[in-house]
Structure 1
């Protein structure tokens, strides 16, 4: 009888201890987050890249929270911003940066390599770009589930629907359409994958994506590229002769030139398509330089500076600053583009950055989102672009801002 009593007493004690400890752990979790947030200090003498990265970490303690996400989501904005953290780590190896990136990967990639919230059968090119984060993590850890996740994204590209001329559709729900955005979403990952795992066998196909958009979406008069091209010419926004959307949107052009400078990292100089891509970059950047405002920035609708409602926009300006600087640093673009990039960065820091009391920074005047078609319908008109919502520290601006700061060593 005594033994039973002792057993019952010990079991009860154990249950209370475990319950108490687990309650304590749960209760302490947010406190740890708050504590680490408070530990992040942003000082005025830091480089702009660190200021922005630490600002984001302070305001979004876990990387999946970027863009005010409430739950982990596999998404292109996380792919963009966290890629900038990986590049920052190469210049300033602060372990907090890699931990932040890996935290995102581990919140989204399951132990079997499946990716939470990702659905291959949607054939959404936006979903590929976050796969760029997994190359370094896989290299460092050699954990196969990261490789499996990358293979899944590559599988999407293998069966992704294409235009008759071979260009990836932007999404399954946008048939026959290529958007400039999609070049950044798909091609840098595709190029890195084929060079890392396939001895570069698909580099011609990567180049083909740029050839298609360059051939179909370039305006012969300005040299700028239209936001979208519909091969079928069926969309109400599409020009009945060319299939192009009606306007030039700076962020779409920004995605395009960033895609070019990033993809060129994987094209050997002796590759037959390398010079072609460098040529596209020069054409686009020369055309963009003509529309740079005296402030150093670019307008939301690129070629209509000064028209009613148009404004100097942060994401496109940051993307151009990055592409110009990297293009010049790598020798793809003439040296004058480094000066233009510095002028753009001056415009961003002097006109669009606000510094808060705790030293954190906010980049203002970023367009939150813009697209074509869909529900509610987006017609690609001038009025449409200038009236889309703006968002402070939108990730489509903060990621390129960090990348530009790194290329310019500011």
Structure 2
């Protein structure tokens, strides 16, 4: 009888503890965003990061995702959080990043929602988040997940010239976006685990797009290049898409400054990549508007329908500032970046009632081909939807703010 009473007591106590734990967990999840205070004196990087945490209590919710999915936008934004933590070690930042990774990486190293056989290079970039978590925890599942993404790059279909296809469904096509999606992870992986064995192959990707997609007149790079010249959007002589899109150019220069972190100065390809960065940056800088910002279609100025766009402008601000800080670019690019950041904060930022910030005028998405068909025309780019606080703008905004110490 006494034992029964003890067992009943222990059972009810355990249940009470469980209910307390689950309810307190629910309460903390529900109230945590409300508890985030965004000081008006905080740096822009913290303001944006805290705004995102407040609006999206779990990191997988970034971009209004309804459930966890492995996606490039999360990799971009959360890389910004990792860099921010180095400058401001607020413990909430790495917890937020790890929450995303742990919602997707399984114990066996597989990744929920990720499909290797699609050979979608967009899916590689979030692997950058795994290096630090693996180094910190030494849990094998994170290493296995990195190895899985490395396997994709080993098998990624290539153009006859050796450039990675953007996706399996886009044969023989390289897009500027893909350089950011694949190469920073590839460079970091080969330096960390392969003694830098494949750095030449990383550089090869830039060599191909630089050689084939650069416009001789403006120095700008076209959004996409079709090696086969078969796509309806492709120029029949060059294989290039018809227009210059600021965000595509932004992906490209961001890819260069991030990849250079892993190229030793004495590496034979280091100087070549720095040269590409200088050429692209000088060409882009010529099209900066007096506001400090860049237009959606880079070279078409205030042509009807064109608009000053947040993501490309943020990406250029970041790449130019980091390039100047690292000594890859002349010091004047720091001034160009500061002017761009001034434009973002005075023209495109709205301050919300709770102190959070909203970055407006960001193109939501743009691509080439696919269904419905995207023809790469001027009209196509300027008519694509815009989205406030789109992650392709907020991630680079955080990174730019950090490089400029704003």
Q: What TM-score do you get using the length of structure 2 for normalisation? A: 0.97
2:358 is paired with a residue of what secondary structure? strand
| Secondary structure of the structure 2 residue equivalent to 1:334 | coil
Aligned residue for 1:52? Answer: 48
Which residue does 1:391 correspond to in 2?
Answer: 387
Q: Does 1:232 align with 2:228?
A: yes
- Partners of 2:288 and 2:9 in 1: CA distance: 72
Q: Distance in 2 between matches of 1:98 and 1:254?
A: 26
Q: Secondary structure at the match of 2:174?
A: strand
SS for the counterpart of 1:354 is strand
Distance in 1 (CA, whole Å) between partners of 2:89 and 2:223 is 37
State how far apart, in whole Å, the 1-side matches of 2:368 and 2:145 are.
29
Select the residue among 182, 202, 226 that pairs with 2:198: 202
Are 2:339 and 1:368 aligned?
no
Matched, 1:88 2:81: no
Aligned equivalent of 2:306: 310
Q: Which runs of 5+ in 1 are unaligned?
A: none
Q: Which residue matches 1:353?
A: 349
Distance 2:266 2:246 in 1: 32
Query: Shift in Å at residue 53 of structure 1?
Result: 0.4
Cα deviation, residue 155, structure 1: 0.4
Matches within 5 A, 1:163-242: 163-242=159-238
CA distance in 1 between partners of 2:20 and 2:297 (Å): 53
CA distance in 2: counterparts of 1:30 and 1:287, whole angstroms = 52
In the TM superposition, what is the alpha-carbon distance from 1:15 to its structure 2 partner? 6.9
> Which secondary structure state, in structure 2, belongs to the residue aligned with residue 225 of structure 1?
coil
Shift of 1:38: 1.6
Farther-moved stretch of structure 1 (151-160 vs 35-44): 35-44
Residue 335 (structure 2) pairs with residue 342 (structure 1) = no
Give, in whole Å, the separation in 1 of the partners of 2:269 and 2:227.
24
Counterpart-to-counterpart distance in 2, 1:13 and 1:387 = 66
SS at 2:39 equivalent: coil
Post-superposition offset of 1:179: 0.1
Secondary structure at the aligned position of 1:358 is classed as coil
Q: 1:98 and 2:97 equivalent? A: no
Cα distance in 1 for residues equivalent to 2:179 and 2:150: 15
> Bigger shift: 30-39 or 137-146?
30-39
> How far apart are residue 112 of structure 1 and its match?
1.2
- The Cα offsets for residues 296-340 of structure 1, whole Å up to 9 and x where unpaired, read as 000000000110000000000000000000000000000000000
**Is there any run of 5+ residues in structure 2 with no aligned partner, and where?**
none
1:128 is paired with a residue whose SS is helix
Deviation at 1:21, TM superposition (A): 5.7
**1 CA distance for matches of 2:14 and 2:298?**
61
CA distance in 1, matches of 2:330, 2:236: 37
Task: State which of 123, 127, 139 in structure 1 corresponds to 2:123.
Answer: 127
Out of 287, 291, 294, the residue aligned to residue 291 of structure 1 is 287
Alpha-carbon distance in 2 for matches of 1:312, 1:118:
34
**Displacement, 1:30?**
3.5
Could you tell me how far apart the structure 1 residues matched to 2:109 and 2:302 are? 50
Pairwise CA distance, 1:111: 1.1
Q: Which moved more, 1:68-77 or 1:10-19?
A: 10-19
- TM-score with structure 1 setting the length: 0.96
Q: In the alignment, which residue of structure 2 is the partner of 1:76?
A: 72
Q: Which whole-Å deviations, capped at 9, do the CAs of 1:226-281 have from their partners, x for residues lacking one?
A: 00000111111000110000000000000000000000000011100000000000
Q: Distance in 2 between matches of 1:11 and 1:175?
A: 66
SS in 2 for 1:178: strand
